[in-house]
Structure 1
Amino acid sequence: MSDGQPMPQTRGVAVELLATVDLGPEIEGMEGFQLRMRMVTIEPGGVFGPVHDHKGRPGTVYVLQGTITDHRDGTTTEYGPGLGWPEDRNTLHWLENRGTVPAVEVSVDVVRAG
């Protein structure tokens, strides 16, 4: 997966855990899973990488501020502010902030507890 650019390592990224919910007591068959909400801030020139997938941890993203460039399937898409992108089992991507202001997103996903 490449759009002609190297896939750099994470830099200029801060991740804050906002909340979790243990899904085991809530939904039958979901023992060992949590619903997780995080705020991710990517500074100008920052990268959330390297390329990564979302197999077993589906989610969705809402961009609060700035613009985030999503690199996947050889293409780039810019998001923000507003509804971002889904992250499902077919997602294989990396993110960057090409802008001049910090980009802030809220990410909600299902993850294995612990």
Structure 2
Amino acid sequence: MMKPVLNTDRFSFAALALAALAFGAGLPATSALAGECPADQVAEDGMTPGPMTPKGVTDTVIKTIDLSSKGDAWKGSMLRMRKLVVQPGGIVPWHSHETRPANIVVVSGSITEYSSTCKVPILHKKGEVTAEFGHLSHWWKNNGKVPTVLYSSDILSPEMHDDNAM
């Protein structure tokens, strides 16, 4: 009689899927739609440039991955993950995502985004994720009373490796 063989690939996928579901269960049900610009407020030049220097924010690089092994199109590019802690009144300065796509998750607190693509400020709360890419420039401010913790994952092109912009 043959013993059943554990398919580790299938087991790993199932474990990963369960972990993702468990993580997602802790997020607000409205997170997919929250923290977005209202449809009637979307504009090409919604907000003018804001502060150009950071204030009350720590930016810690957690890990980077050199993407060069993925082919010529990725030569010199890096995937970077950072933790940002923005104190009350703190500012993540005006910056562009034209050449640096990113995803941001709010882990605690809340933060307000002032975006070139929206006429009104956008409040991002704990558990919300926002995608930043394309023709977008913006700045963020913690208008709350507690520090806001964000995790950011972005792709840096070769010319951005020494760029300290947020």
* 1:94 to 2:134 alignment: no
Q: Percent of aligned pairs with the same residue?
A: 30
Match of 1:36 in 2: 80
Report how far residue 3 of structure 1 moved: 4.9
Structure 2 Cα separation of the partners of residues 20 and 83 of structure 1: 23
Root mean square deviation of aligned Cα: 1.8
Q: Deviations over 1:2-48 (max 9, x none)?
A: 658x8233200100000011111134520110000000110000011
Q: Deviations over 1:63-87 (max 9, x none)?
A: 0010010111332111121122111
Structure 1 Cα separation of the partners of residues 47 and 95 of structure 2: 15
Q: Which amino acid aligns with 1:37?
A: M
Segments of 5+ residues of structure 2 without an aligned counterpart are 1-44, 162-166
> What pairs with 1:61-100 in structure 2 (closer than 5 Å)?
61-72=104-115, 73-100=118-145
Count residues with an aligned counterpart.
Answer: 112
* Bigger Cα Rg: 2
Match of 1:110 in 2: 155
Q: Which has the higher contact order (CA 8 A, sep 6+)?
A: 1
TM-score (norm 2): 0.62
TM-score (norm 1): 0.88
Q: Which has the higher helix share?
A: 2
Q: Which amino acid aligns with 1:107?
A: S
Q: Which has the higher strand share?
A: 1
